[in-house]
Amino acid sequence: GFPEIRAIFLAQFHPDQGPIVRMSVPEDAVDVGENAYTDTGATNRSSELRDTGAMGGIVSSNNNFAHEPEVVELIKRTTARGGPSLVDSSKIDFNSIQTLIIPKLTLFERLITVNTGRFKVMCYPVAIEGNYARNMFIFNMCFAFDISADTKCYGPVVKRVGSLLKELEVTGRLLSDVAGTRALLMMMRQLVNKLNDHGEYQIELDLKGLSQPMASTGISIKLFPYYENPATIEAFHVPVKLVDFDVARRKSAQTVYQQHASNDIMWDLVLDKVAEGIDNVNHVRRIARQAQIPEPTVVLALQHLDYYGCIALVDIFQFSNVYEAQARVKD
């Protein structure tokens, strides 16, 4: 199943108070501490946010785009210097991660993961330039999970929520207008309940009282399993079946055609031909020759099967195997 959302909270940069938590679900999920609304560096924060330098020493990218990482992982210790942490471990310590939740401009509109205490916080910070105090409105809708949770499937969801909120703020001041508080809180509660219970979320957001072109707007979000990119397949690899292809073929047909599926419904012609050659012995090149299909096309078909976990790939020869000559050697 999908990891459970422990909390959602909306962080904003207040023009006078600095980073704050505007609302959260559950309400007591975030420990804002004594200094939650008195950022001593608030007067200098605007110039700091406009500094396009990297956050040295704490930023690492998950891909090759070092200058503009799409996914950034941040790790922040919650233990204070000179002594143990005084923060309730059952809550998210906002003070320890507020400079990462509201980061420098180089990390805005990037998917960010922050590990703090028992929680893993995923977020998508957004900055909107316009007629605001300090000429910029900064917010971040954050999702909190258990520290050990595999949250890769939530990446598109967090990014989509941030993008939707940005659009609603640009068109109707949903976040900056106090009249939008009720709609925001309802959306956050529904997000937690629906995604945890059903893995999908659909709601008509009430926008009455805001300068929206419509009185309401629909939001639809759905979780999908995350699959790693298929491995590189070489000619010497041997595909090994992990599922019964006959059963898988019938299941896929029934999914599309429901009760009208019959034995005549087949997979893609190339995929079906390649599957016939997979006997846990033949290597990729032999499968291509037997099927009379170009090798690169066979590789693409096998990558498709590998992506969905239908096959495993092993080398032709392995030191852990035992090889014996068969009677056909005489021939």
What pLDDT does residue 66 have? Answer: 34
What pLDDT does residue 122 have? Answer: 96
Residue 309 has pLDDT above 80, yes or no: yes
Confidence of residue 115 (pLDDT cuts 50, 70, 90): very high
- For tokens 């396009």, what's the residue? 52
Q: How far apart are CA 21 and CA 43, in angstroms?
A: 18
Percent of the chain with pLDDT over 70: 74
Q: What is the mean pLDDT of residues 278-297?
A: 94
- 10-46 CB burial, b ≥16 within 10 A, e <16: bbbbbbeebbbbeebbeeebbbbbeebeebeebeebb
Q: What is the mean pLDDT of residues 142-165?
A: 94
What pLDDT does residue 86 have? Answer: 55
Residue 174 has pLDDT above 90, yes or no: no
Residue (of 106, 94, 99, 117) closest to 61 by Cα position: 106
Q: Are strands 92-93 and 30-31 parallel, antiparallel or unpaired?
A: parallel
Confidence of residue 7 (pLDDT cuts 50, 70, 90): very high
Per residue in 198-243, pLDDT tens? Answer: 999 887 777 666 655 555 677 889 999 888 888 899 999 999 999 8
What pLDDT does residue 248 have? Answer: 73
Q: What is the mean pLDDT of residues 52-76?
A: 41
Q: How far apart are CA 249 and CA 243, in angstroms?
A: 11
Q: What is the mean pLDDT of residues 63-71?
A: 41
Q: What is the DSSP string of 104-167?
A: -GGGTTSEEEEEETTEEEEE--EEEESSSGGGEEEEEEEEEEETT---GGGHHHHHHHHHHHHH
Q: Give 180's Cβ-side CA count (13 Å radius).
A: 22
Residue 127 has pLDDT above 90, yes or no: yes
Residue type at position 257:
Y
For residue 152, CA distances in Å to 9, 46, 191, 284 come to 19, 32, 17, 31
What pLDDT does residue 12 have? Answer: 95
Cα R_g (the chain), whole angstroms: 26
Q: pTM of whole model > 0.75?
A: no
Per residue in 238-260, pLDDT tens? Answer: 999 998 887 777 665 444 444 55
Q: Is 7 left (phi over 0), alpha (psi -120 to 50) or beta?
A: beta
Q: How far apart are CA 266 and CA 179, in angstroms?
A: 55
Out of 1-15, 72-86, 213-227, least confident range: 72-86
